[in-house]
Every structure is written in C-alpha cells, then in structure tokens.
Structure 1
Amino acid sequence: MNRRPAALLTLALAACGAAPPVPPSAPAPSASLTASYAARPELQDADSQAVLARYGDAPGLLAALQEAYGERPADHSRPQVPALTGLDLASDRLAYVKRTGWGSVANYTAQYGAYAGTALPYSGLDWTRDGCSAPDGVGLGYREDFRPACNVHDFGYRNLKVYERTAANRLATDDAFYANMKAICAAKGWYARPACYSAAYAYYQGVRIGGGSSF
C-alpha cells in the first residue's frame, strides 16, 4: 500500500476540517536535584544559595542536605586505618600518620596537645597548620567553624605527601576531612545544620578539585 507524504496528509486533514497532528515537543529541562531545597528558609543565606547554584545537580550535595534534614542516616564514617604493630619504625610512623590524619578531631587534638613541637611519638612529623581556605562561592563564615577539621586535614596532607604520596591517600584524607566537617555540622541546631552541611560539601569539593598541588 502506498503511503502519502506527511505534507499531503496534513493538507488532506485540514481540508476535511480535522486538525493536523502536532509534532511532539522537546521535553522541558528538568530541575536540579536540589531544587526543592532552594526555597527553604534555612538555606536563604548567600553562601547556601551560591552552593546550590553551583552544585545543584551533584548527588553528593543532595545526600548532604538529606542528612542535614534527617531524610537519610548520617554518614560520618572515616577511612579504615592500619594498626600500629611495633615491629617496624617506618611502617608504624606511616600508620600513625594515617590514624591521626584520617581520624576524628578529638583524636587529633589529643595527639597535637601531647606531641606537637617534640620528636615524639615519631621524629620527622609536621604538626604545622594554617587553618582553612574558603572555596570559591563560599564566604569566610565557616572558616572558624571548620578550623578543627582543617587542622586534621593539614596534618594528613603535610605528612602523607612525605611518607606515602598516593592518590588513594589524598582521597582518604579528603574523605576524612568531609566526615569531620559533617560531624561539626551535626552538632549545630536544626536551623543552622542545612547551611553548614552545604558549606561542608563546598569545602570538600574545594580540596578535591584544587588541593592536588598541596599534596
């Protein structure tokens, strides 16, 4: 059976008073993953709006906001760390660096208080720290909030780049940094928590994207 061209079919339908078929329209652009959060009153500050605008389609930011609002279980897990064996000085020093640089703020603070400025528990460790650098798009308001997490991160970067400089170790140090920031945010009141989590995600992205030259 012969098929008429689409143009002739349209003319025939018009002549009979029937409406010609309407070609399907292009799908409307989808909203960002985090669009439903952008209007919430807890996220109306300039920093949070900047983070939402920049990372709105990032599953990681969505997960962070869901944690902040209690819509998913909190995840403050840190990288697995090796044990101290007491069998080899170099291996134990590296294990200590990972345990301190990938551990909690409380653990780092205790180690810093006991050993900074000394040759204990291992010589050659760098305990210097210089606080936080705010990522692009986020003001300076969270530099002090996250300073304890930044101190742990400094220790990890400055020592692992000397004793075992690998991409995997850098990622683990950054992941521990993010876990420590989220733990700081989780301790805040419910209203301040979402903005803090969004800032923590931006800081994490800052070290993942721009921290390579420091490691």
Structure 2
Amino acid sequence: MRKVLRGIAASFIATLTLVGTATAASAAPADKPQVLASWTQTSASSQNAWIAANANQGAWAAYGYDWSTDLCSNSPDNPFGFPFEQSCARHDFGYRNYKAMGTFDANKSRLDSAFYEDLKRVCNRYSGATKSSCNATAWTYYEAVSVFGYKNATLGG
C-alpha cells in the first residue's frame, strides 16, 4: 500500500511541476505593456514599428497579442480608393489589446488619434483635390471611431 501511495504522490508532484512550468512559460514578458504602448502612438515611427511587428507576428508570440482585425469594420476599407485598411488594422490591434489588458478607457483617445494620424499619412500621398477629399474622408472615419468606437470595443472589437 505504501508503494502505491508513494507512486501516486510522485505522479501528483510531477503533474504539479509540469503545470507550474507550463504556467510560468506561458506568462507574457514583463514589458508587454511598454511594447504595446510603443506600437500605438501617433508617430510615423510607432506606425512603422507596428507594421514590422505585424509582418513578423511569430517573433512576438510570447506576448500573446491579439492580431485579429475586421479592418474598417462596417465601413469601406478603401473608401473612394484610399487604402485605409492598414490604419484600421492597427487601430483594431490597439483596441483589442488594451481591452484585453483592462486599460482601454485610459488609452482610447490616443488610439483614435493615432488612427487619424495614420489616415492622414495615407492622404499625404496625394495632392490637390484628391488629398482634400482623402483628408475629409479620414476626418469622417476618425469622428466615427471617436463617437462609436467605445460601443464597438465593448462588443469585442
């Protein structure tokens, strides 16, 4: 009977050790909030860093970020031919990850501003009336996320 109990105890301890190791190994790196913040600022360098990370998501797997996106949600991804999808994807990234971390409310305004700056960078590729039209469309998209973004974020995205 003692041998059986020792065997059960040894198995139990081995299982606990395995579970404890798996939990420690799956914990996100301590700098996860700082990395997220660096990718969700209004600057072009922040946008470029996010674009590079998005293209190499596997390198960031340990962080457990949510890279999913529905692009520009219920709005066209390329309104009037303006390619807004990448800006929308980065905006989704910020919304989803700050929501998951429980710090969405404190960051929403900056995320929306970063979205608008990203859209304006798209518009800077154009000139004249086309640029004016793009900027007006960018403003409309920005206003929509400013007003309705919280509702969508609470529903999952």
TM superposition score category, shorter chain reference: 0.5 to 0.7
Query: Letter of the aligned partner of 1:106 in structure 2?
Result: N
TM-aligned CA distance change 1:98 to 1:181, over 3 Å: same
Report the CA distance between 1:166 and its aligned residue.
Answer: 3.7
- Relative to 1, partners in 2 of residues 1:99 and 1:143: Cα closer, same or farther, differing over 3 Å? farther
Q: 8 Å contact 1:153–1:173 — kept in the other structure?
A: yes
**Within the alignment, does 1:109 sit opposite 2:109 as a pair?**
no
Q: Distance in 1 between matches of 2:104 and 2:140?
A: 23
Query: Residues of 2 paired with 1:209 and 1:200: CA distance?
Result: 14
Residue 89 of structure 1: aligned partner: 29
Corresponding residue of 2:83: 145
Q: Give matches, 1:57-68, under 5 Å.
A: none
Residue equivalent to 1:76: none
**Structure 1 partner of 2:15:** none
Any conservation in 2 of the 1:134–1:203 contact (CA below 8 Å)?
Answer: no
Q: How much does 1:144 deviate? A: 5.4
Which residue, 101, 107, 110 being the options, matches 1:169? Answer: 107
Shift of 1:143: 7.5
Report the Cα distance in structure 1 between the residues aligned to 2:140 and 2:38, rounded to whole angstroms: 25
Offset at 1:199?
A: 0.7
Give unmatched runs, 5+ long, in structure 2: 1-27
**Which residue is equivalent to 1:208?**
146
AA at the equivalent of 2:50:
Y
Counterpart in the other structure of 2:22: none
Which amino acid is the alignment partner of residue 68 of structure 2? T
Whole-angstrom distance in 2 between the partners of 1:191 and 1:169: 34
What is the distance in 2 between the residues matched to 1:101 and 1:186?
20
Off by >4 Å, runs of 4+ in structure 1 = none
Number of the residue aligned with 1:55? none
For the Cα contact (< 8 Å) 1:128–1:155, is it kept in 2?
Answer: yes
Higher helix share: 2
For structure 1, list consecutive stretches of 5 or more residues without a partner in the other structure. 1-87
2:41 pairs with 1:99: no
TM-score by length of 1: 0.51
The one-letter amino acid paired with 2:120 is K
Q: Pick from 45, 60, 63: which aligns with 1:123?
A: 63
Q: What RMSD over aligned residues (CA atoms) do the two structures have, in Å?
A: 2.6
Question: Residues 9-24 of structure 1: matches in 2 within 5 Å?
Answer: none
Structure number, greater radius of gyration: 1
**TM-score of the pair, normalised by structure 2:** 0.67
Structure with bigger RCO (C-alpha 8 Å, 6+ apart): 1
**CA 1:213–1:195 in 2, change beyond 3 Å: closer, same or farther?**
same
Q: Secondary structure at the match of 2:129?
A: coil
Please state how far the C-alpha of 1:188 moved relative to its aligned partner: 1.0
Identity of aligned residues (%): 28
